[in-house]
């Protein structure tokens, strides 16, 4: 079935705005779709897929678009759409454009320069090659340029993993248990979930397996006092609350009222009443200071470059710069140091990011230990053994898309002596 020619215009218009990289691509797309309510769900799906395909393959497509005639932005748009639905499905192409797309389709991408095949900005490609070598960097880049699978976390307060698998099969939605996270399910294909009874009654939440593992290594127990220091919309908070079996007190701190507002309906669905969302002005807010030395476990899922989430957010690689990373580092160490004050003697502090870069990960952990003699590193292999997670790691948790089929995650666990 051919798509109406107007789709090309819509895709080009929204792409023009997204490629300015002034904000997240998903937000720009959502706003565009709200402003154009006549676009049907199939058309919206095609536009989004074309945009994301182009963001993933931007280096290669920019090179392709420099050949051929006519405006470059239109050629970029055609490449994205041809990638999403095939050139045959596009209405409104000139004969010349059809021939150009056919020629481009025959190009052997494996013969292109490595930096272009990786579809990463030059600074990031060079940084990863210097650390991991070219072959490994290309494997990682290739995995990050595939769309992420859909992972679910089963809310153990409401159902078992087996019950959810059986209920999804009736929908019919096929899934398989995630290899590492004990309550995770990986859904085959990407069905709409929000109308399922399982979703409405809080038995499942959408959460990447890596993020589930980050919540699990906190090791929260019944009756404890726990803080999720950068809670955001609360995916890990909900996981922690269920691990605590709805007992104790779980504080969800965040500086964004909007993000915490998204947690409220999720809490209501989950059936958890041990979560206390707290809006803070900054990491040194008096609400934080009041809990100093009282908390059993603190999770700091720190603001970071987000370069581990490129399967979901391919625009991030083009929006970050070496300068923004340096700014992040200052914020990361400040937040971690502030969160550390909450931890009581013998308590646990977990630092995590969804980044692939050493300067946001190991370097921050080392800097923290050097300036906090009252904390010691708890080797990740010991933490994983305690949680019965079968995963080979050394001192730190390092999850990578090409090795573990998760987003890129890092975590370090510290204990107050």
Residues labelled as active-site residues: 354
Binding positions for S-adenosyl-L-methionine:
254, 301
Q: What's the rounded Cα separation, in Å, for the pair 172 and 183?
A: 20
> How many alpha carbons lie under 13 Å from residue 415 in its C-beta half-sphere?
10
Q: β-pairing, 375-378 with 409-416?
A: antiparallel
Q: β-pairing, 295-301 with 225-228?
A: parallel
Q: What angle do CA 119, 120, 124 make, to 5 degrees?
A: 160
Q: Write out the two tokens for 194.
A: 């929000």
DSSP for residue 147: P
Binding positions:
254, 301
Q: What's the rounded Cα separation, in Å, for the pair 347 and 203?
A: 30
Q: Which of 210, 218, 211, 214 shows the shortest CA–CA distance to 343?
A: 218
Q: Which of 363, 408, 411, 409 shows the shortest CA–CA distance to 139?
A: 408
Task: Give SS3 for 360.
Answer: helix
Q: What's the rounded Cα separation, in Å, for the pair 82 and 105?
A: 9
User: Cβ(350)–Cβ(397) under 8 Å?
Assistant: no
CB atoms within 10 A of CB 195: 9
CB atoms within 10 A of CB 374: 11
């Amino acid at each position: 079935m051919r798509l109406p020619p107007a789709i090309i215009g819509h895709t080009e218009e929204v792409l023009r705005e997204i490629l300015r990289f002034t904000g997240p691509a998903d937000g720009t797309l959502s706003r565009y779709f709200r402003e154009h309510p006549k676009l049907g769900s199939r058309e919206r799906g095609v536009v989004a897929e074309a945009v994301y395909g182009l963001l993933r393959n931007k280096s290669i497509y920019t090179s392709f678009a420099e050949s051929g005639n006519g405006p470059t932005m239109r050629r970029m748009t055609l490449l994205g759409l041809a990638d999403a639905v095939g050139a045959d499905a596009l209405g409104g192409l000139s004969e010349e454009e059809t021939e150009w797309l056919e020629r481009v389709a025959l190009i052997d991408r494996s013969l292109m320069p490595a930096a272009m095949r990786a579809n990463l900005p030059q600074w990031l490609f060079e940084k990863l090659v210097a650390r991991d070598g070219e072959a490994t960097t290309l494997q990682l880049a290739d995995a990050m340029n595939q769309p992420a699978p859909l992972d679910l976390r089963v809310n153990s307060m409401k159902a078992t993993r087996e019950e959810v698998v059986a209920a999804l099969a009736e929908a019919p939605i096929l899934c398989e248990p995630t290899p590492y996270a004990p309550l995770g399910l990986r859904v085959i294909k990407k069905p709409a979930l929000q109308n399922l009874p399982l979703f409405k009654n809080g038995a499942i939440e959408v959460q990447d397996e890596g993020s589930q593992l980050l919540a699990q290594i906190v090791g929260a127990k019944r009756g404890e006092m726990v803080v999720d220091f950068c809670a955001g919309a609360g995916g890990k908070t909900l996981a922690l609350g269920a691990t605590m079996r709805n007992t104790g007190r779980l504080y969800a701190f965040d500086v964004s009222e909007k993000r915490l507002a998204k947690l409220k309906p999720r809490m209501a669905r989950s059936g958890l009443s041990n979560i206390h969302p707290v809006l803070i002005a900054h990491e040194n807010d008096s609400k934080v200071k009041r809990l100093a030395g009282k908390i059993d476990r603190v999770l700091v899922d720190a603001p970071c470059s987000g370069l581990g989430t490129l399967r979901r957010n391919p625009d991030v690689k083009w929006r970050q710069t070496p300068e923004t990373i340096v700014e992040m580092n200052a914020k990361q160490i400040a937040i971690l140091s502030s969160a550390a004050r909450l931890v009581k003697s013998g308590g646990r502090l977990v630092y995590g990011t969804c980044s692939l870069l050493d300067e946001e990960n190991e370097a921050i952990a080392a800097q923290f230990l050097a300036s906090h003699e009252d904390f010691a590193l708890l080797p990740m292999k010991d933490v994983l053994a305690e949680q019965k997670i079968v995963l080979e790691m050394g001192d730190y948790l390092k999850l990578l898309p090409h090795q573990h089929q998760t987003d890129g995650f890092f975590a370090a666990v510290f204990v107050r002596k």
